[in-house]
Amino acid sequence: MLVKLLTRELLRHWRSRQDIINPLLFFVLTVTLFPLAVTPDGQILSQIGSGIIWVSALLAAMLSLESMYRDDYHDGTLELLILQSGSPYQVVLAKIIAHWLTTGLPLVIISPLLAVMMQIPTSAFLALILTLLIGTAVLSLIGSVGMGLTVGLRNGGVLLSLLVLPLYIPILIYGASAVNSAAMGLEYSGQLSFMGAYLIGCLTLVPLASVSAIKVSIQ
């Protein structure tokens, strides 16, 4: 059943391709504008580049959260799936996976090109890709809870930000720190271990919390 639900979600995202393109464009434009606004100096950019890429990825992921439940909520499909599918956990999990595949993964794929623009050393590229792989998955998971709680509100964007940003901060700090450590030739396995543990905790708890949040919103 999970495969069928995931296929449905991917097709739904494909039909609304602007929900895929807009976060990616936002990510690229935000990172591109920083050298113009701050400084073109390569040494400075290499020092702040990882933080810029990570903050931009976080904001781009937040920009796309509404596409996770919005359309299905407004046409009644979400309520039908949650209450009558017999497996609301798989419904939510399929939506989270589809969101990551259409939003998080493209950000990861394009990040090395932006890292070159920010003059981040090539030795840090692997750390950047690994941390973004873990981090974007966490962003999709945590975002699903916040979106589940606010999907029924007319202007829930501000409340969504207040709910999820505090939970995003640890992954942002450790992700940027790992890339900086790799750029300086230092070990970054500690940061990766923390991020991996954070991801496992989210995978264990978040889908269940998302189901409960959606049920509150649709009742």
Cα separation, 72 vs 78, whole angstroms: 5
What pLDDT does residue 97 have? Answer: 92
The reported pLDDT for the residue numbered 192 is 93
The per-residue pLDDT for 134 is 94
| pTM, rounded to two decimals | 0.88
What phi and psi, each to the nearest 5 degrees, are found at residue 52? -65, -45
pLDDT of residue 130: 94
Q: How many domains does the chain fold into?
A: 1
**Dihedrals φ, ψ of 36, to 5°?**
-75, -35
Q: If 0-12 CB within 10 Å is exposed, 13-18 middle and 19+ buried, where does residue 72 land?
A: buried
DSSP string, 165-198: HHHHHHHHHHHHHHHHHHHTT---HHHHHHHHHH
Confidence (pLDDT) at 68: 82
Vertex 45: Cα angle to 183 and 128 (nearest 5): 40
pLDDT for the residue numbered 156: 65
Low-confidence ranges of the chain (pLDDT < 70): 85, 155-157, 219
Q: Which residues are CB-contacts of 161 (< 8 A; sequence separation ≥ 6)? A: 62
The per-residue pLDDT for 127 is 93
Give 121: exposed, middle or buried? Use CB within 10 Å, 0-12, 13-18, 19+.
Answer: middle
> What pLDDT does residue 214 have?
84
Q: Can you give the residue range of the structural domain that contains 21?
A: 2-218
d(CA 114, CA 177): 18
Q: What single letter denotes the amino acid at residue 15?
A: R
Q: What is the crossing angle of helices 2-15 and 18-37, to 10°? A: 60
